[in-house]
């Protein structure tokens, strides 16, 4: 078994705060285990697939989703506290738009072809949750691509087309048909499913057990 031989498939949406927190936990575990065997790949799952292409006013959308603005504010406060406890930079109330994330997922897909997927996923989380940017906006996405070493001009041209949109939608639908109902969801070695933002210690234990098994093979 060679290094980076175990697949770790992550189903995520860049507007999911628990995905952001879960990625931070995973990254810390991987950094603490530099010989980890994981080959990480990010997969699309839209939390709000019916969102209009232009997105929606975030405050109005959250109020409609949770019934009233007080309930939305309560949930936001809990999320902010969880992010603070996790040491994740998040300003949960800064974003003014709730975007449709199809184009963001297309960018993540293209980043995977260039070996920049992890960088782009990080950048999208930061853009939305830290900086409050509209990651459904083409200018924001091309800037993210540029900052991550991709060709922003080429990405902008692709975003002007429907390229890979059907593929992203099909992959999202396939994940749902196979039992993914929420994100983040992690699939280890195409066999073992972990749902939710797993603590650093859990990932460290999983990595240690896999490495031990590999050593005996």
Q: What is the CATH number of the domain that holds 134?
A: 3.40.30.10
pLDDT averaged over the chain?
96
Query: What local confidence, expressed as pLDDT, does residue 217 receive?
Result: 78
The CA distance from 72 to 4, in Å, is 41
The CA distance from 84 to 63, in Å, is 23
- Number of domains present in the structure of the chain: 1
The CA distance from 159 to 163, in Å, is 7
Which residue in 66, 40, 53 sits closest to 137, CA to CA?
A: 53
The CB-side HSE value for 151 (13 A sphere, CA atoms) comes to 8
174 in a domain, yes or no? yes
For residue 75, count other CB atoms closer than 10 A to its CB.
Answer: 15
94 in a domain, yes or no? no
170 in a domain, yes or no? yes
Residues 6+ apart with CB under 8 A from 198: 22, 25, 26, 186
Residue 98 β-bridge partners: 56
67 in a domain, yes or no? no
How far does Cα 95 stand from its chain's mean position? 17
User: Which structural domain, as residue segments, surrounds residue 162?
Assistant: 6-48+101-215
13 — alpha (psi -120 to 50), left (phi > 0) or beta? beta
- Tens digit of pLDDT for each residue in 62-86? 999 999 899 999 999 999 999 999 9
Which residue in 4, 18, 42, 14 sits closest to 199, CA to CA?
A: 18
Per-residue pLDDT at 129 exceeds 90: yes
Token readout for 179 is 């039992």
Q: Which residues of 91-117 are buried (b: 16+ CB within 10 A; e: fewer)?
A: ebeebebbbbbbbbbbbbbbbbeeebb
- pTM of the full structure: 0.96
Give the number of residues written for the chain: 217
Residue 27 β-bridge partners: none
Confidence category of residue 216, pLDDT binned at 50, 70, 90: confident
- Tens digit of pLDDT for each residue in 6-46? 999 999 999 999 999 999 999 999 999 999 999 999 999 99
134 in a domain, yes or no? yes
71 in a domain, yes or no? no
């Amino acid at each position: 078994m060679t290094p980076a031989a175990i697949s770790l498939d992550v189903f995520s949406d860049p507007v999911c705060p628990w995905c952001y927190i879960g990625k931070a936990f995973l990254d810390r575990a991987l950094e603490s285990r530099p010989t980890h065997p994981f080959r990480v790949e990010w997969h699309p799952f839209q939390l709000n697939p019916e969102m209009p292409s232009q997105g929606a006013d975030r405050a109005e959308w959250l109020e409609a989703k949770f019934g009233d603005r007080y309930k939305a504010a309560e949930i936001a406060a809990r999320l902010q506290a969880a992010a603070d406890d996790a040491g994740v930079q998040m300003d949960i109330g800064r974003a003014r738009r709730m975007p449709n994330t199809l184009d963001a997922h297309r960018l993540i897909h293209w980043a995977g072809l260039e070996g920049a997927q992890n960088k782009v996923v990080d950048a999208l989380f930061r853009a939305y949750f830290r900086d409050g940017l509209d990651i459904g906006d083409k200018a924001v996405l091309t800037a993210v691509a540029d900052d991550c070493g991709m060709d922003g001009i080429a990405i902008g041209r692709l975003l002007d087309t429907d390229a890979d949109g059907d593929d992203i939608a099909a992959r999202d639908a396939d994940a749902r048909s196979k039992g993914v109902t929420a994100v983040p969801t992690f699939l280890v070695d195409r066999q073992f499913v972990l749902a939710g933002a797993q603590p650093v210690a859990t990932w460290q234990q999983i990595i240690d057990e896999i490495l031990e098994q590999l050593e005996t093979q």
